[in-house]
A and B are shown apart, each in its own frame.
Chain A
């Protein structure tokens, strides 16, 4: 896996409410360049919302977001999102386009690459995820694991500085999870800055550099994985770990 031009990412005191529902209550998250931060916690704790706030799919009510140490809240959000790749639980491939067109779409329309060059780069990305031979298939004809790998290739094609994974393996059949996790681990080793929201405690423990435990819109505990998994300090994390492990 090639190295990436990745950057650091920081969220500072992020707040978000939907009406009276206070979803994020002052989140701080710092991800060093080239490291992987996993975010764990019970459902409804605000993990997925945090990702969407950090790439400004949802604008925070309060707080700041820094990419490589510079605040990006005043940037054009569309340009910010070109620098942050995102992978979704439900893959969200474009079903009306072939696999290779899914990957090359942003290269053609946003990077304005000529069709042939965009296709060549897309094929290169597909090769990295082991699916070059499926380039002209439709997403619907791929297995869930293959679709998710295409979704990863689609995000990587834009040469992002940071990658977000939103429960990327939660919708997959158990036997398909491994391939996607292995690919994510490769990216982490290759030096990609990653924020991984996950229920895969094995991945969180073995691959990530830091773990953040969220509950009810706040960061309850964070630190290196050995510390959180072997010596959880808060009752809430102890309770959560005994539920999921």
Chain B
């Protein structure tokens, strides 16, 4: 029993968790969201540019997009964050006098996210039937207008689930920013949990951090499933006669 008690105390010390949760909610959560949302939005913008380049008729633009994507998808996140954050830090400090690591952290996250988001958008754009572009061009729209008005909007819709998955990734990857050195007020969820764990020698604050991440990511996972289902069936919550029949057929109550 001693061993079990020991484990319970290490992981589920409620008092240690209660001590860290207020700080996580008021400081960690907003900072995590700032990192994830801003790099998510910037990543979508840069990703769309990469996708348009990747599907363009110019070989040079396609190649450029390809090289960028290969590099930033192929290098571990921690390497990019360290290279950008530590490498460019002094330059930013000289130029702006700011030592805030957030802008460079967001930049590093954006560069990586855009490589993935660019591929997501590209696959969406390429999945739109050729007839859509043809119909739009037959109406008299130019190639660029056709892409902007007809093809890209449909492509984006199809990849919304993958996009939300990417955002979930960003929420988790934002924890790596701690490597750049954060002031007390700049700490995000993981760093607050980690500091408390280091100070007390007890891992419960990290369990609290994990729970906080789950509160953010699990609803998003279900949002993905909902969007996915809705995209497939075209409308929410409308039972087809066949669905009911299948249930009854299995002996279930309707």
Contact = CB atoms under 8 A, between A and B. Distances in A.
Interface in A52-99: 55, 57, 78-79, 81-82, 84-86, 88, 90, 92-96
B135 A78 contact: no
Given A82-B139, A106-B141, A109-B145, A94 B131 contact: no
B140 A106 contact: yes
B229 to A, nearest CB: 16
Interface in B201-247: 234
Contact of B139 (A90, A96, A106, A140): A106
B131 A158 contact: no
Residue from the set B140, B154, B234 with the largest chain A CB neighbour count within 10 Å: B140
Contact of A92 (B131, B140, B145, B149): B131
Interface string B125-147: 00001011011111111100100
Nearest to B154: A96
Contacts of B234: 138, 140
Interface SS of B by simple majority: helix
Nearest to B146: A78
Given A109-B149, A140-B234, A81 B140 contact: yes
Contacts of B142: 78
B131 A110 contact: no
Contacts of A106: 139-141
A101 B58 CA distance: 32
Contacts of A155: 138-139
Contacts of B149: 105, 109
A84 B140 CA distance: 9
Contacts of B131: 88, 90, 92
Contacts of B157: 96
B139 A158 contact: yes
A72 to B, nearest CB: 13
A158 B132 CA distance: 18
Interface of B: 129, 131-132, 134-142, 145, 149-150, 153-154, 157, 234
Interface of A: 55, 57, 78-79, 81-82, 84-86, 88, 90, 92-96, 105-106, 109-110, 138, 140, 151, 154-155, 158
| 8 tightest A-B CB contacts, nearest first | A82-B140, A92-B135, A86-B138, A92-B131, A81-B140, A106-B139, A78-B142, A96-B154
22 contacts: A55-B138, A57-B134, A57-B138, A81-B137, A81-B138, A81-B139, A84-B138, A88-B131, A88-B135, A92-B134, A92-B135, A93-B135, A94-B132, A95-B154, A96-B154, A106-B139, A106-B141, A138-B234, A140-B234, A154-B139, A155-B138, A158-B139
